[in-house]
Amino acid sequence: MSEIWPWLMLAGLGAFHGLNPAMGWLFSVALGLHRGSRRVVWLSLLPIGLGHALSVASVALLFVLAGTLIDGTIVRIAAGITLIAWAIYRWHFRSRHRVRVGLKTGLMGLGLWSFLMATAHGAGLMLWPALMPLCFPSGRAPDSGPLLPAVLGVGVHTLAIVAVTATIAITVYEWIGVEILRRAWINLDAIWMLALATAGLCLLPG
């Protein structure tokens, strides 16, 4: 179980991100409705997944490089402090978005939005508690190196967010409609900020 939980956590975080309309599915639905095409809804999944993957991969790469150069305990503590600091920052500035992309943007704009939102939410930071035991078990890199587990971890996370995004986008486009956001949605950002802070605390030494 100790070997599979990081993969389950990576997939679970991807699924949670996929639930958030700001991460892409709302844009996917809006673009499909604007162009009157179910095919556009499916095509939009590519830039959503790619933008998200580039964001989390860039952060994961930084931590992997740090882990190969610095003691694992220091990286763990630094990651924990960064997660807590980012949660506080997100709580304080949660309503301020300097860069905006319209709901009728094209596929390239959608990819940009996906990258920006994943970065702003600290998605790459949040993956580190799950990636650390894969990339540096027992505090050191495996014989095959830490890069392969990191790439596979980002891949699992990306597949999960794309799968959930696709499921919600098609369901809303075909049957439910975007009116659900006015009636039955919860504040996922607040849950995410709490999750960031909790993960940071778990990384700090007890």
pLDDT at 100 over 60: no
Q: How many domains does the chain have?
A: 1
Residue ranges making up the domain that contains 50: 5-203
Q: Between 2 and 169, where is the model more confident?
A: 169
Averaged over 171-197, what is the pLDDT? 78
pLDDT at 101 over 80: no
Distance CA 129, CA 170 (A): 32
138: phi > 0 → left, psi -120 to 50 → alpha, else beta; which?
left
pLDDT at 95 over 60: no
Triad 134, 114, 44: Cα angle to 5°: 110
Structure tokens at 15: 């699924």
pLDDT at 153 over 70: yes
Averaged over 158-178, what is the pLDDT? 92
pTM of the model: 0.86
pLDDT at 171 over 60: yes
Q: Between 42 and 139, where is the model more confident?
A: 42
Q: How many helices (H) and strands (E) does the chain have?
A: 10, 0
| Residue found under tokens 């933008």 | 51
φ/ψ (deg, to 5) at 164: -70, -40
Average pLDDT, the chain: 85
- N-term to C-term CA, the chain: 22
The SS3 of residue 32 is: helix
pLDDT at 186 over 70: no
Give me the percent of the chain exceeding a pLDDT of 70. 88
Averaged over 116-140, what is the pLDDT? 86
pLDDT at 184: 61
Tens digits of residue pLDDT in 28-79:
998 898 888 999 999 999 999 999 999 999 999 998 888 888 887 888 888 8
Query: Using only C-alpha atoms, what is the Rg of the chain?
Result: 17
| Residue found under tokens 């035991």 | 133
Distance CA 55, CA 57 (A): 6
Distance CA 78, CA 82 (A): 6
pLDDT at 166: 96
Beta strands in the chain (DSSP E): none
